[in-house]
Amino acid sequence: MNENQPTTLFHFSFAVNDLDRARKFYGEVLQCAEGRKLKGRADFNFFGHHLVAHLAPDEVVGAKGKKIGEAGETPLRHFGVVMTLDAFESTAGRLAQFGCEFINRPKVQQKGTLREQMLMTVSDGCGNAIEFKGLRRITDVYAVEERAAARA
């Protein structure tokens, strides 16, 4: 096996209410290459992971249900990506350029901690909330401060 090849990829399958809008958001706005083209679905390389949008308007969860986060606006059911700060800034710029609907505008979260990060949540225009986290080192998303670990 080539050591540069990943040994796993995350796969996520979800419902959208409009495949053309999904192709615009994930393909054009986020610049995720589209893979197989099968009726009723669109496959994307979502920042190195396999994402499949299925046309199933009745299955879209959207903003229904519990909300979380400091402002209580992020739908509990959301997905996203952890990225470097440079990639985060670039992505935030593209989202703004394309006039995407921000659920939570970019801001610093957990300031002064090991997990200090930039965070934003947007609507994909198809009924889903997508969260982006920007960190100096993406693996810091798993960081636990010693005093917090001692309480656990």
- One DSSP character per residue, 19-88 reads HHHHIIIIIIIS-PPEEEEETTEEEEEETTEEEEEEE-GGG--TT-S-EESTTS-EESSEEEEEEEHHHH
pTM for the model: 0.88
Kind and range of the H or E element at 108?
A: strand 102-109
Cα distances (Å, whole numbers) of residue 136 to 20, 64, 70, 83, 93: 34, 33, 22, 9, 18
Task: List, for residues 39-71, the tens digit of each pLDDT value.
Answer: 999 999 999 999 999 999 999 987 777 777 777
Residue owning tokens 């419902």: 15
User: What is the rounded average pLDDT of the residues 61-84?
Assistant: 83
Assign 18 to helix, strand or coil. Answer: coil
Q: What are 3-20's pLDDT values in tens digits? A: 677 788 999 999 999 999
Instruction: Give residue-wise pLDDT tens across range 115-143.
Output: 889 999 999 999 999 999 999 999 888 88
